[in-house]
Amino acid sequence: MSQWLDQVIERGQAIDDWLSPVRTQALESLRQSQWPNRRTEAWKYTSLTPVEKLELSPTTAADNAAVSDIDGLNSLNLVFVDGKLVTDIDNLPLPAGLHIHSLRAMPASLQETARELFGTIKPPRHLFGLVNDALAEDGLFIDIDAGAHIERPLRLVNFSSAGKESHHRVLVRLGTGSTATVIEHGQGHDSSMSTGFAEYELGEKAHLEHYRLAMHTHQAIHIGGCHFSLHQESRLNSTLIGFGSQLSRLDVDIIHSGEHAKAKFNAVYLLGESEHFDLHSTIEHAVPNGTTEENARGIIGDKAKAVFNGRIHIHRDAQKTLAELNNRNLLLSRRGQINTKPELEIYADDVQCAHGATVAEIEEEALYCLRSRGISRSQALVMLNFGFIQELVNQMPNQALAQWLQPQLRDRFVEMEVK
């Protein structure tokens, strides 16, 4: 047990609100948890030393952070600063069928429903998920009525500022046949620690377009997750963009709970300097006839370190499952590191599955070809790097978001040293 975790439990015990019944369970699990070390499989390549060394203060007052709009996105922005919701959600122009509630001020009539979502999709094995269960006092419950088509993307910005520790939680429920776009956007570069977990319940035939822009950088520690439960014939299209920081870790769980659901999950991570990024994904095919396509691509420069663990678990009854998982990495420097582990665990006999992982370096011949047409070496590297991830960026359904991302992704390459 670490001092940090002791302190989490102590603080969690002191919270008394409508979520206390679920917090109590989480606290009990935390008391029985081992603080992960390098022998803990889920944390084998990610050291928690930066968390152990933390001397941060839980947030007291939140400052307003200016969040700039993304051109052409026309999103409804919901802003958290250090875990505190600063957007006045009571005065938002919400379209019909969309209901947004703050976890801090949950109407009594909805508390039961929200409690049922809280912590039920997110598997209890994620230690920091339990920490979030215990400490997240602020967050959102986004409820979309059956049949509602929410055109405007919901953009949830989570900004972490210097010296702050924060925990926020997002619950999203998509009613039968509804559609929505949710963007989770993490930001911050100063020394800070945040956890942010989101749980999504996709009702029958619901369609969710989802983005997690994990853009905490430098000294910002962020540990979080996205967890999806897919009911009958629902569709999930999720894209994760990961930058690295002192410590960034995300756990993604996609659970096929109903038949004929389709999940597409693309992840792109771009790391330079001494950044660290760890992505663990688990796809659970618990029922027959599900489809999953997962593509993760990463570029690792300088002394950066990436961890990818992608697991597909096909339960005994999940016949006729189609599942593909592919992870490709480009190492730009000899000191960069990638630990990749695709895992297939199949208990059904009539399924189609494929998985693969590759690690490559920049092709000298391609570099020479570009340079031989007058393009500078540094620009050629940017083009080749960008080419490696372009395919996944192009697959993002939201063009405005893709356009906004392009220069930021390019800037990452420009900063990366290639040796």
Which residue, 237, 252, 187, 179, is CA-closest to 217? Answer: 187
411 near other proteins, judged by CB under 8 A = no
Least spacing, CB of residue 183 vs other proteins, in Å: 25
Q: Is 166 helix (H, G, I), strand (E, B) or coil?
A: strand
Q: Residue 32, exposed/middle/buried by CB under 10 A (0-12, 13-18, 19+)?
A: exposed
Does the footprint of other proteins cover residue 379 (CB under 8 A)?
Answer: yes
Asked if 375 interacts with other proteins (CB under 8 A), we say yes
Segment interacting with other proteins (CB under 8 A) among 87-95, 132-140, 164-172, 376-384: 376-384
Cβ 152 vs Cβ 179: under 8 Å = no
Is 188 within 8 Å of 194 (Cβ atoms)? Answer: yes
Q: Is 372 in the site for other proteins (CB under 8 A)?
A: yes
Cα distances (angstroms) measured from residue 232 to each of 171, 236, 256: 20, 12, 8
Select from 358, 376, 395, 399 the one that contacts other proteins (CB under 8 A). 376
Q: Which one of residues 6, 377, 395, 408 is an interface residue with other proteins (CB under 8 A)?
A: 377
Q: Which stretch binds other proteins (CB under 8 A): 24-32, 199-207, 212-220, 371-379?
A: 371-379
Q: How far apart are CA 203 and CA 144, in angstroms?
A: 10
Cα gap 313→346, rounded to integer Å: 6
Interface characters, 292-321, with other proteins (x: CB under 8 A):
------------------------------
Q: Letter for the amino acid at 80?
A: F
370 binds other proteins (CB under 8 A): yes
The reply to whether 383 sits near other proteins by the rule CB under 8 A is yes
Q: Residue 407 interacts with other proteins (CB under 8 A)?
A: no
Question: In Å, how far are 15, 46, 159, 181, 200 from 248, measured between CA atoms?
Answer: 27, 9, 14, 24, 21
For residue 309, the minimal CB distance to other proteins (Å) is 25
The only residue of 307, 384, 401, 416 in contact with other proteins, by rule CB under 8 A? 384
- Is residue 366 near other proteins by the rule CB under 8 A? yes
Binder among 10, 112, 345, 391 for other proteins (CB under 8 A) = 391
* Residue pair 226/210 in contact by the 8 Å Cβ criterion: yes
What's phi and psi for 221, nearest 5 deg?
-95, 125
Q: Does 419 bind other proteins (CB under 8 A)?
A: no
Check: CB of residue 263 under 8 Å from CB of residue 292.
Answer: yes
99 binds other proteins per the rule CB under 8 A: no
> Least distance to other proteins from the beta carbon of 358, Å?
13
Residue 371 as a binder of other proteins (CB under 8 A): the answer is: yes
Mapped onto helix, strand or coil, the DSSP state of residue 76 is: strand
Using CB under 8 A as the criterion, which residues of the chain lie in contact with other proteins when the complex forms? 363-366, 368-377, 379-380, 383-384, 386-391
